[in-house]
Amino acid sequence: MFQQTLLQNKRALITGGGTGLGKATAQRFLELGAEVHICGRRQDVLTATEQELRSRTGAKIHSHQCDVRDPAAVEKMIEKIWAESPLDILMNNAAGNFLARTEDLSLGAFQSVIGIVLMGTLHTTMSCGRRWLAEKRKAVVLNVTTTYTTTGSAYVVPSAVSKAGVHALTRSLAVEWGDRGIRMNAIAPGPIPTEGAFSRLLPRPELAEAAKKRIPLARFGTTEEFANLAAFLVSDGSSYINGEIVTMDGGEWLQGAGEFTALGRDLTNEEWEMMKPKPKKQ
């Protein structure tokens, strides 16, 4: 899909890059010539990913144990990275989520998810952004959100409010920092099978088939499709795209929103025939 030099000489940090979509994107960035840093809370997971991707691609990958909820830890990690060489790309991908009835949630539950998704994104963006602005360096930020930021979603309220905040951050800073060479966009994916997401959000495997029926393309997205879109959005090939939220969901949210979609799917052929205009009598 891309020339293998697409991200040559670029240095990227992917938060939550040890698993799932972050890991798949780290692999794609490495294949396209980037040097990649990944971070997360579990060092064993990070080390395994680092070793696997290094041996698979032969490219430069580094891992950092860092909880993005902690601004001091984020600043320390960014300082360490910068001491070697500045980043060109930041991908805010780390997230926390779970299905729960909102009235059952403790304050700690809200704080945990908001801390990772909204505050974590803010911490890394500010740490990198201040440095880029001071150095007059061109850079790109790619945030990972969801399709339920504009509609909201029942049962994932801490995630919904956090991801909506990330959308506002994306659009705000795209304008405020755009004139100084920093682009900021987001991908809003629909369901893509990963252990992290599906183990928390799909309590029974058979619900997957019902979930696919909500998607016009009748399947889930893949990590490869996600990683290719991410590569495009952080590359110079998308240099005039700024402040955009790119939905990647096979048309799922539009199907859910369309007034007559469900009704139309339920009608029989006979009913469609009956609704056709009757031939006019001469």
Question: In the complex, which residues of this chain contact ligand HXC (CB under 6 A)?
Answer: 95-98, 100, 105-106, 108-109, 112-113, 146, 159, 190-191, 196-197, 200-201
115 secondary structure, DSSP code: I
3-state secondary structure 26-69: HHHHHHCCCEEEEEECCHHHHHHHHHHHHHHHCCCEEEEECCCC
Cα separation, 153 vs 150, in Å, equals 9
Count of residues engaged in binding ligand NAP, rule: CB under 6 A: 29
Contacts (CB under 6 A) with ligand NAP, residues 14-53: 15-16, 18-22, 39-42, 45
259: amino acid identity, one letter = E
Largest interatomic CA distance in the chain: 86
Residue 280 neighbours by CB under 8 Å, 6+ apart: none
> Measured from the CB of residue 209, what is the shortest distance to ligand NAP in angstroms?
16
What strand order describes the sheet that includes 35-40?
61-65, 35-40, 11-15, 89-92, 139-144, 182-189, 245-248
The helix or strand, by DSSP H or E, that contains position 246, with its residue range, turns out to be: strand 245-248
Please tell me whether residue 250 binds ligand NAP under the rule CB under 6 A: no
Instruction: Pick one of ligand HXC, ligand NAP, none as the site partner of residue 100 (Cβ within 5 to 8 A by kind).
Output: ligand HXC
> Measured from the CB of residue 242, what is the shortest distance to ligand NAP in angstroms?
21
Q: Nearer Cβ to ligand HXC, position 82 or 98?
A: 98
* Bridge partner residues of 36 (DSSP): 12, 61
**Of the candidates 53, 68, 122, 186, which one interacts with ligand NAP according to CB under 6 A?**
68
> Measured from the CB of residue 246, what is the shortest distance to ligand HXC in angstroms?
15
Using Cβ positions, the residue closest to ligand NAP within the complex turns out to be 196
Residue count of the chain, please give it. 282
Q: Nearer Cβ to ligand HXC, position 201 or 241?
A: 201
Q: What are the tokens at 114?
A: 């908001």
Instruction: Pick one of ligand HXC, ligand NAP, none as the site partner of residue 250 (Cβ within 5 to 8 A by kind).
Output: none
Instruction: Pick one of ligand HXC, ligand NAP, none as the site partner of residue 113 (Cβ within 5 to 8 A by kind).
Output: ligand HXC
The residues binding ligand NAP (CB under 6 A) are 15-16, 18-22, 39-42, 45, 67-69, 93-96, 116, 120, 144, 146, 189, 191-192, 194, 196-197
